[in-house]
Structure 1
Amino acid sequence: MMPEIPVIDIGTGGASALAKSCPEQVTELRLAMRRRFGALGLRLGDVATRSWLRRSENPFLAEFESLAELWNGAGVYILNAMSDFSSTSAAVTDHQGYFRLVRVVDWRVEGAGRNLVLARQRGAAGAFLALTWPGMVGVISAMAKGRFAAALNQPPQAIHRLGKRGDWLINRVELSRHGGLPADHLLRQVFETAPDFVTARQMLCDTPLAASAIFTLVGVKPGEGCVIERTRTEAAVRPGPAAAANHWCQMPLAGHAIGKDSAGRQRAMERLLNYPPARLTWLAPPVLNKDTRVAMVADPLAGTLVAQGWDRCEQVTCPLVLNS
C-alpha cells in the first residue's frame, strides 16, 4: 500500500522543527543527495553556499546552522541552493473569475516524491500549508486559506556561450556575488507576513532578489491571479489566467530553459486555464515525466489542497485531500 503524505504542524518552529518531526524522510533524502552529488560534491557545495549565506546576511542563517546538525553530515546547504528543479504552474479560473493554483514540480533527486511532506506553518500574517521536504528552509509551493496560494518556478539560465554546464557554473559564481534574497526565501517571507494577494504581489515584484525567478500567485477574490517574471531588480506581470514553465514569456532575455520541453509543458498547462480542476486527473505528459515529484491543486478561497508524490511517472503516495 502506498504511504500517505505526512501532515506535520510545526507552528513557528521553521525548517529545523520539520526535520526533527520526520527523521526517516531526512535520512532518505540525505542518502539520495549523496547518491546524486557524491560526498565530496556535497561538502564543497555546502562550504560555498554557507559562505554566501553568511556574506549576504541571510535572515534564515540560524535555521541552516541548526539543520546542519540535524542532518548529521553534508548536504543541507546545497539542498537549499540547488536550482535544478523544473516546474509547471498555472493560475486557472472559473466562470466567476475565482482562481486556483495548479502546480507540478520536477526534480532529478530519486525518491523525493515518496519523501514529500506537508508542513503547517505560521507567521505574523497567519497560518499556511507548504508542500516541501525536510531540510528545505524556503517555500516553493504553498497555500494560505483566505489569503493566497503561490508557487516558484526556476527561470532560464543566463547564456554565456560556454554550453549549458559552463553557463550553469558561471551563473552560480555570479549568484555568489549578489545580495538580495533567494526566491524561495522571499516566498516564505511572503507567506509569513503578507495579509492578502495585493501585498503578496507587491512583495514578489519589488523585493530585491539574489537571482531571477518566476512566481505564480492566486488570491481569494475575482481577478486575483497572475504570473510574475522577475530579474534581480525588475518585474513583469501577466494577469491570469496564465501558465508558466521554465522560460521567459515577457522578459526580453535569452536563456537555457531548464527541464524537459518547457514550452510543451506550458502549452499543456494552458489547456486548463478556464477549467479549474479540483483533483489530479489532468496530469499527463509532457507535464508528467520521469522527473515529476509533486502534483498539486490549491484553492485558497475554499481552503482545499490536493497533492500527490510521484517518481518515474508512477504514483508513490496516496492522494492527499485536505480541507484546511
Structure 2
Amino acid sequence: LNFAYESTAFCTSIVAQDDKGNIYHGRNLDYDFVDILSKITLDVQFIKGGQVAYQGTTFLGYVGLWTGQSPHKFTISGDERDGGRWWENAIAAFLNRNYPVSWLVRDTLSEAEDFQAAVLRLADIPIIAEVYYIVGGVSPKEGMVITRNRRGPADLWPLDPLGGAWFRVETNYDHWTTPPPFDDRRTAAIKALNATGQQNINFDTLFKVLSVKPVLNNNTVYTTVMSAALPDRYQTWMRAGE
C-alpha cells in the first residue's frame, strides 16, 4: 500500500479565500477499493510537548499523509499527477533515494514553520513521482498549487484574489491544459464555486462544492475540509456509497 499508492491516487483539491481574507482548503480523495479503504481511514494527531503539532487523514498502516494541517500555520493536500514510467519512479525511490510523495507532506507538516517555508519544501525537495501539492495558509493570498516534477517545480499557481482568482481547483491534470471529457471534475467544481460566490465560501459551502457530481464520484473515499487558522474545524467525512 505504501508504495503502490504513490502513483495511483486520484483527487480533487480546492483552496479558496473568502471576501474577508480567510483561507479554506478542501479535498476529495478518490481511489479504487473504496469499500476497503473506507474501513481503514482515520484522522490522526501527532503530539509534541502535549500540543497537537500536526494532524491529517490517512489509512491504517500507511506511513505518509495526503491530507493534513499544521495548526495556525498551513494545510496541505496531494493529488496524483500522471507522469513518467514506473521504472523511473523506482529509480528515483531506490537509487536516488528521493522522498516518497506522501512522506514529504508529513515531514513538511512536522518541520515547516509557515506557509512560505512549506511551499519551498514541497516545491524543491526531490520526490519519487510527479504530483500536485495544494497548500493553504492563514493570511490573505496564502494559497498555492504546486505542480511537481521529480526534481523540482514545473509550475507554481498562487491565489490572486485582487485579480479575481479567489480560488484554485486542482484535479489530476495540469491546470494550463484541458481535462479529458471523461474525467472533467474541474469544470464542475469551478461552476459550483462561481455559483457559491466569494462572499459565501465557508466550511459548509466548500463541502457542498465537493459533493457536486462528478467531483464526488463512485471512487471518492473521503472528503476533508480544513482551515489552518481554525484548526479545530478540521473534519473528514466518509463518502463510500454516496
CA–CA distance in structure 1, aligned partners of residues 60 and 39 of structure 2: 12
| 1:223 alignment partner in structure 2 | 141
Q: Larger radius of gyration, structure 1 or 2? A: 1
Is 1:94 the counterpart of 2:18? The answer is yes
Give the secondary-structure state (helix, strand or coil) at the position aligned to 2:78.
Answer: strand
Residue 310 of structure 1 deviates from its aligned partner by 1.6
Q: What amino acid does structure 2 have at the position aligned with 1:176?
A: A
2:54 to 108, 128, 152: 128
Offset at residue 234 of structure 1 (A): 2.9
Residue 234 of structure 2 aligns with which residue? 305
- The secondary structure found in structure 2 opposite 1:211 is coil
Establish whether residue 81 from structure 1 lines up as the match of residue 4 from structure 2.
yes
Which whole-Å CA distance do the structure 1 matches of 2:103 and 2:48 have between them?
14
Match of 1:286 in 2: 214
What CA distance in whole angstroms lies between the structure 2 residues aligned with 1:212 and 1:120? Answer: 27
Moved more, 266-275 or 217-226: 266-275
| Matched positions, count | 217
Does residue 1:266 correspond to 2:186, yes or no? yes
Using the aligned pairs only, state the percent identity: 22
Distance of 1:185 and 1:301 partners within structure 2 = 24
Correspondence 1:211 to 2:129 = yes
Structure 2: unaligned runs, 5 residues or longer: 160-166
Contact 2:43–2:236 under 8 Å retained in 1: no
Contact 2:108 2:118 (C-alpha < 8 Å) held by counterparts: yes
CA distance in 2, matches of 1:157, 1:248: 11
Aligned counterpart, 1:107: 31
Q: Distance in 2 between matches of 1:123 and 1:210?
A: 29
In 1, Cα distance between equivalents of 2:21 and 2:142: 8
Would you say the 8 A contact 1:139–1:184 is kept in 2?
A: yes
RMSD: 2.3
CA distance in 1, matches of 2:78, 2:130: 11
| Matching of residues 184-263 of structure 1 within 5 Å | 184-235=102-153, 236-240=155-159, 241-250=167-176, 261=183
> Which deviates the most, 119-128 or 283-292?
119-128
1:284 and 1:137 map into 2 onto residues whose CA distance is: 30
1:224-277, Cα deviation, whole Å (9 max, x unpaired): 111010101231110122110001124x9x9xx79x61xx21222223273433
Shift of 1:80: 3.5
Q: Is the 8 A contact 1:80 1:138 kept in 2?
A: no
Residue of structure 1 equivalent to 2:76: 150
Q: Secondary structure at the match of 1:105?
A: strand
The match for 2:202 is: 277
Say if 1:118 and 1:130, in contact at 8 Å, map to a contact too.
Answer: yes
Q: TM-score if structure 1 supplies the norm length?
A: 0.62
Say whether the 8 Å CA contact 1:114–1:310 is kept in structure 2.
no
**Structure 1 residue 142 displacement after superposition:** 0.6
93, 96, 99: which one aligns with 1:181 = 99
Cα deviation 1:75-106 (Å, max 9, x = unaligned): xxx44432222000011110023211110000
